[in-house]
Structure 1
């Protein structure tokens, strides 16, 4: 099998910047590294001649890596971090510019815009909270551009851009091929996949290409029977009581019985499966000698069941307790078109695309009992006499139905590449529409059989005309539209034959229209009131007393509302720049320096202006921002690219310094502020680092390659209202290791005739990382002990003597310290053996050779830690065949 999911292949691209195939070794007297053409600057150039940091990997190189899923690919990303809870539920960060992202259960409703842009060919496919997870089949190459790329690639390119470039229809005749694989995971189910493509020239001017795939990834996580005597879920009235609003406190939480949830009917081994299926259709039409048209359509279905994390409080590292059947169905159709030609001395490109995506999910939300603001009210008969109080079944769920679409158009022009001066200029238009209905069961139906109906009105109808289920107690029902227009350009000038300077800029305007409601809040009306800003409008919506307090908060600068108009629409515009200079020292070495700017636009909050329920300490006078403000990243880097020793060694390295202002983060603090997620600006940060990669053809039969990343991140200032909640000044940003690196080796040897054997090996190291942007680990660990009767066993880095995010004490009467969970360092190794010729390849592989259980991500979104880990040792066989 050549490729797996997009995120797997994307991150693998960082492992190496070049490759060589067995045929080249046999035919050349001296093996050399192949030249890779990239379009990182929206021109086709050799990767070694582009004066920016860019890593690219060809489709052949992806195949030679010999790995087949995310758990292995993730180890070849020393300057990239991929964090999340499973397929289709992840977010990418580059060069340490990471923060806490929104809980996946509400990512469609309230999430930050991504800081890394995803492109499929010319089409941006990024999405807030849930990047499009495109299965990478029949790929020409993958390009990864670290650092701000906003002048050419727009808003979500704040810290980098990833582009998956597919194979296009060719006019050279017929070609076809297929890949298939079967593998067995230790303690898990079998996985298998098949991929196929064919290319056909129908006429001299018309060609088609079709690629199809089906990949079943077997599970290895077991949903075991809940056993309170062995680390299972027991529940705790103390936890429920202490995070509840004051009016719903239990009289005697230590002695209040808690009903233990049951999951007997859901017990299942290896229940975390993922299935990718889809196809891509391409048509290329040569209009005349100067113009051609490409149209492609990709259709994919991603279906997952179960969860991809284990409960560390249970025995082993593959067990969990879940109480609601979980699934995620993610379907999309993407149609793209590119018209390219020449007008006199200009190359003209018009490209566009239409993306239609539907997500349907069910998520176990039982953990909300451990952190909901009114937990005792929702699950306990707190109003009864003290000796009769009881907490009922805490089992909860969340169901989501989300439909989104994205339409883009870009028209750009390039002058001739041979000119001493060169210009790329264009205009870009983008409109994104998202409609989502999320239904939560957060209240026990014995106590509240029709809560959502009662709160929404007697009919219990949502704005889309659908009735609320009797089990549903809270609903998000919103639409979100983002319109963007931008004008961009880049000018390059050859000062001498070896020195080139460039300058680029992008002006943009983004309109953000957020409409809808929750069960308890009119989001549209709230934003219109803030946009109007008059006493009358605020008083009509909030009431006289609250309106006066809000006016005072606006006047003092505590609340910003200037970006909203009277209809509640948020508009932001600005200009960002990028400039660079490069020197071609000789034919083999180039050095370059650059300055670039990136940004993420503001994010509107559903409950902006709301005050904290707890008005003590850090929360005294606190109000939720109406919107998080733009966070910007300014980057300076100095790098070199070299191809040495008669093209046998490629070594590239870049040193960089980035400054982030008003770093956006997601906040979920139902204890003190709001039971709805919102976004905020945590403060400022600095990032310093060095990236490097090399590929060395050591002999005609041996290729060694590797990559490394050194990153030093630091929060340099903290929003005063997050003091004691977020890590203090001087702390590290989350998820990025100080050092990561990998080594790969490929050894080829002749067998007989036209057959060549090979051995591929790789080893990677990832240093320890910190989880999240909130110092709540000690609080969560205390809750874990109360709920399960045992701790998680995870390491914690203490960062403060006092955590201000809670207004209660721990079980020993001591104030909670502040700290974050540590995602421990780990080493992974893979090996494969194969035989190949010009047409076929057969390979035996072992992934995760030492059966290491790595902590890829610590998920604390349900108030006890869940650990996302890699797939255990997997042994399998791959076979591919190409027809020409």
Structure 2
């Protein structure tokens, strides 16, 4: 009996040992699956879901679109890859013990749901619907669908955003009614990838060809983007080199403009993997030649505002390991403009000289990214160089020049102008660490540095030219000889600014539905401004001999941010936020000319209070987003003293803007989509403001205009909206037809705080019809169908021609081809 019992126990023991040994063998039979997920254009898709079907094993792609699945059981497995807005893919693979499989998934956009663009507004990759702030994003494909070539074509489709463009180089953008009144710094941030290229009134019309997307962030971005992002930020995200496959594109286009002539442009792209899955280069080139549509009756030149631009972009990406990659890029653009895009309703202007503008900019960037698993490290450095050479007409002073130089037998004069040259050199660097999205705690921290160096000069000239000898004769006759006065008008100036900042954000998921976020940015800047004023006219106007002045200043600013987010449902989020933004102060170099004037002015700031909701319905076929906001704008920089071209700026203004911006997208059926966006904005002064109004001719006393509390802010339309509809349908197995219509409306506004005129409302209707077959797409289009006058902004009053506006392009009809290989 004992033997039998012992024998039975022995058999059980042996079986247990065999089972244990077998399980160890089976457990050891595992492998690894690695891969990358991109769209069909090669752009990585962070946040894509990876799942081994029939199991709970899965992961999501990181910021570079890559993923790793360890300890996958050996044998045949089926992977499913999905991402909202794209067709899911499944693939069977055979996992071999101890081996690693490398996979590439290319997902194709689907028309069955509204593709939610992944954005990096918060310095981490997130679906736009999950980010608790007011953001609009336009994908590269959408830019093609609306026919956009640069900022002038797409910016007015964004709710709450307005463009003033006297020419394609000098673009001023306002967001929610916030735009610079005076000072030197911009109120919006403008980025190309990691490189800030922000300039007050000089945001260049960067080509939107081969863009991954454009993000417009409404409201202050003071914690993550810092100085200059007081009203919001525009980010242009370029397509990066695709290490997986070669790509080629060539896109020619030809069009004709009413009151003008032929326009043509051609874009090209080549993407070449140098080492498959490791190293690739991507190069783009563009050339655009637009005929003018404005006649200059003063100098007798028709279609004076012709525009030519050319350039390209080269990018290099190296995937050193699955966790480490480097990206380098260089962008160059050169532009030539024959005259300002300003005219009356008859598309006429009058100057005494042709206002040519030559503009060149280049942007260089080197970035490194490393995935620590718990956080992503990004280190980036950029260099931005911008050079502008512009002729500025001064024909309005010809009577004065005729009189003065007529005293010494010179004249009459046909033209007077200044040659304005400006050169910008900006170096920026940033290092930031962004935590993964897997913890209830999420954080971002970083350091930022900027070195800004601008030099410029204005040199007066005339036709016929005036020699220094003639100027000396006139000066001697007036008793001003021997003062070292040279030329008609000379001004040399510079701005040197160094900025440093520490920033961070921390968020915590209190519950799966409730999140709280706090952020802060500590900013310091040092400024050094100089100016040298010379010439007979500055001396006569101000009574000041040739003078070189310099002044330095500094500022330290603390920017906080608070956000409370609540998710009542899986596809709905609501948020309440308070955030602060600011723009730089400056120096009043000629304050000594005015009694009691300050030598500098402080940064101005804006607090934004916002309540927003983002929602998706009907399986993603309807997306509705809205944000209610109140902006408190304090320490506004305004000109309080003025003498000829010498001004004093002080922090005396206070105002607010309040309103709502909203966007709704709807896909009622496959291929058919509608988008409606709009904004309503009220912008008022909160205090009484005194502005300079010249001097009393008898007493010499300074005169001032008083702006009452509650006055409307200039150039802020009360409302605007856009409506777009598109239908794309198959006509054969590989062929599609598409039709699209866009309607944009910008309401009326006033032109000034003092004695304002009305800036009229304007609207445009754009139509496009296209045919697609495999690698070829052809389209025809009509922009500004009704040939409305696009009066973007009041510019000045001409005594003979009437009101002059910054004027958009009349009706333009054309066709184009897109090819992809």
Contact 1:112–1:664 (CA<8 Å) still a contact in 2? Answer: no
Contact 1:668–1:674 under 8 Å retained in 2 = no
Show the counterpart of 1:76: 157
Q: Alpha-carbon deviation of 1:20?
A: 7.8
Say whether the 8 Å CA contact 1:150–1:506 is kept in structure 2.
yes
Q: Which residue of 2 aligns with 1:629?
A: 602
> What is aligned with 2:508?
493
CA distance in structure 2 between the aligned counterparts of 1:56 and 1:693, rounded to whole angstroms: 11
Q: More displaced, 446-455 or 173-182?
A: 446-455
Q: CA deviation at 1:291?
A: 1.1
1:281-326 Cα deviation digits (max 9, x unpaired): 111112223211100000110111112111x3xxx62122222122
Greater RCO, CA 8 A, separation 6+: 1
Alignment match of 2:568 (pick from 545, 564, 585): 585
Structure 2 vs 1, CA of residues 29 and 424 (structure 1 numbering), >3 Å: closer, same or farther?
A: closer
Residues 858 and 866, structure 1, Cα contact 8 Å, conserved in 2: yes
Per the TM alignment, residue 449 of structure 1 is displaced from its structure 2 partner at its CA by 6.0
* Corresponding residue of 2:7: none
| 1-structure distance, mates of 2:653, 2:612 | 29
Distance (whole Å) between structure 1 residues aligned to residue 289 and residue 220 of structure 2: 36
Q: CA deviation at 1:702?
A: 1.5
Q: Of residues 130, 136, 146 in structure 1, which corresponds to 2:208?
A: 136
Mapped partners of 1:441, 1:58: distance in 2: 47
Partner of 2:120 in structure 1? 39
Shift of 1:133: 3.0
Q: Identify the match of residue 624 of structure 2 among 629, 634, 651.
A: 651
Greater alpha carbon shift after TM alignment, 714-723 vs 205-214: 714-723
Residue equivalent to 1:838 = 774
Q: Distance in 2 between matches of 1:766 and 1:690?
A: 15
SS in 2 for 1:717: coil
Q: Offset of 1:721 from its aligned partner? A: 5.3
Q: What's the counterpart of residue 875 of structure 1?
A: 813
Is 1:333 aligned to 2:333, yes or no?
no
8 Å contact kept, 1:367–1:862: no
State the Cα distance separating 1:99 from its structure 2 match. 4.2
The answer for the alignment partner of 1:190 in structure 2 is 262
Q: What secondary structure does 1:113 align onto?
A: coil
CA distance in 2, matches of 1:332, 1:458: 41
Residue of structure 1 aligned with 2:455, choices 435, 441, 449: 435
Give the CA deviation at 1:758: 1.0
Helix, strand or coil for the counterpart of 1:853?
Answer: coil
- Seen in structure 2, the aligned counterparts of structure 1 residues 366 and 666 have a Cα distance that, compared at 3 Å, is farther
TM-score (norm 2): 0.79
Query: 1:654-683: CA deviations, max 9, x gaps?
Result: 0000110121245795xxx33334534451
Tell me how far apart the structure 1 counterparts of residues 362 and 711 of structure 2 sit (CA, whole Å).
42
> Aligned partners of 2:481, 2:191: CA distance in 1, in Å?
44
Q: How does 1:685-704 map to 2 (within 5 A)?
A: 685-704=655-674
Match of 1:684 in 2: 654
SS of residue paired to 1:396: strand
Does residue 484 (structure 1) correspond to residue 499 (structure 2)? The answer is yes
| Residues 186, 199 of structure 2: 8 Å contact kept | yes
Which of residues 506, 522, 531 in structure 2 aligns to 1:507?
Answer: 522
Aligned length: 697
1:57 paired residue number: 138
Contact 1:513 1:569 in 2 (8 A): yes
CA distance in 1, matches of 2:588, 2:615: 48
Q: Any conservation in 2 of the 1:112–1:679 contact (CA below 8 Å)?
A: no
Shift of 1:493: 0.6
Answer yes or no: is the 8 Å Cα contact 1:135–1:276 preserved in 2. no
- Does the 8 A contact of 1:682 with 1:718 survive in 2? no
Pick aligned residue for 2:556 from 568, 573, 579: 573
- Within 5 Å, which residues of 2 pair with 1:792-807? none
The corresponding residue for 2:681 is 711
Q: Unpaired runs of 5+ in structure 1?
A: 1-17, 102-110, 227-262, 370-374, 462-467, 524-540, 543-565, 612-621, 776-818
1:379 shift after superposition: 3.8
Output the TM-score relative to the length of structure 1: 0.74
Instruction: Quote how far apart the aligned CAs of 1:181 are.
Output: 0.6
Paired residue for 2:74?
none
User: Runs of 5+ in structure 2 lacking a partner?
Assistant: 1-82, 90-106, 539-545, 694-703
Q: Quick check: 117-126 or 323-332, which moved more?
A: 323-332
Superposition map of 1:438-587 within 5 A: 438-441=458-461, 450-451=470-471, 472-519=487-534, 568-587=551-570
Distance 1:33 1:512, change over 3 A: same
1:415 aligns with 435
Are the structure 2 counterparts of residues 198 and 72 from structure 1 closer, same or farther at C-alpha, using a change threshold of 3 Å?
closer
CA contact (8 A) 1:100 1:772 kept: no
Please give the alpha-carbon distance, in whole angstroms, between the structure 1 residues aligned to 2:481 and 2:287: 46
Name the counterpart of 1:546. none
| 8 A contact 1:123–1:353 mirrored in 2 | yes
Q: What is the rounded CA distance, in whole Å, between the counterparts of 1:721 and 1:872 in structure 2?
A: 37
Residue 209 in structure 1 maps to residue 282 in structure 2? yes
Q: Which residue of 2 aligns with 1:222?
A: 295
In structure 2, the partner of 1:393 is: 413
**How far, CA to CA, are the matches of 2:260 and 2:88 in structure 1?**
37
Secondary structure at the aligned position of 1:698 is classed as strand
1:607 aligns with 2:590: yes
Contact 1:422 1:493 in 2 (8 A): yes
Is 1:158 aligned to residue 230 of structure 2?
Answer: yes
Alignment-derived partner of residue 856 in structure 1: 792
2:320 to 263, 273, 287: 287
Q: Distance in 1 between matches of 2:111 and 2:525?
A: 53
Which of 432, 445, 448 is matched with 1:425 structurally? 445
1:18-417 counterparts in 2 under 5 A? 31-67=112-148, 72-100=153-181, 111-204=183-276, 205-224=278-297, 226=298, 263=299, 267-310=300-343, 312=344, 317-343=346-372, 345-368=374-397, 376=400, 378-381=401-404, 392-393=412-413, 395-417=415-437
SS in 1 for 2:129: helix
Q: Which of the two has greater strand per residue?
A: 2
411-420 vs 158-167, greater mean Cα deviation:
411-420
Bigger Rg, structure 1 or 2: 2
Query: Does the 8 Å CA contact 1:610/1:623 hold for their aligned counterparts?
Result: no
Residue by residue over 1:82-141, the C-alpha shift from the partner in whole angstroms, topping out at 9 and shown as x without a partner, is 12411111211110012445xxxxxxxxx5200000000011111233223322221000
Partner of 2:96: none
Distance in 2, matches of 1:179 and 1:39, equals 28
Q: Which residue of 2 aligns with 1:640?
A: 613
1:445 Cα deviation (Å)?
6.4
The CA deviation string for residues 343-401 of structure 1, in whole angstroms up to 9 with x for no partner, is 462311101101122111112221345xxxxx74x4425998xxx99995373111022
Range moving further from structure 2, 64-73 or 702-711 = 64-73
Query: How far is the alpha carbon of 1:179 from its aligned partner?
Result: 1.1
RMSD: 3.3
- Give, in whole Å, the separation in 2 of the partners of 1:824 and 1:21: 43
Task: Confirm or deny: 8 A CA contact 2:256 2:262 kept in the other structure.
Answer: yes
Does residue 767 of structure 1 match 2:743?
no
Partner secondary structure for residue 609 of structure 1: helix
Q: Is the 8 A contact 1:836 1:842 kept in 2?
A: yes
State the SS of the aligned residue for 1:725: strand
Which deviates further from its counterpart, 65-74 or 635-644? 65-74
Contact 1:22/1:748, CA 8 A, preserved across alignment: no
Residues 605, 113 of structure 1: alpha-carbon distance in 2 compared, 3 angstrom cutoff: same
CA distance in 1, matches of 2:640, 2:253: 42
Shift of 1:419: 0.9
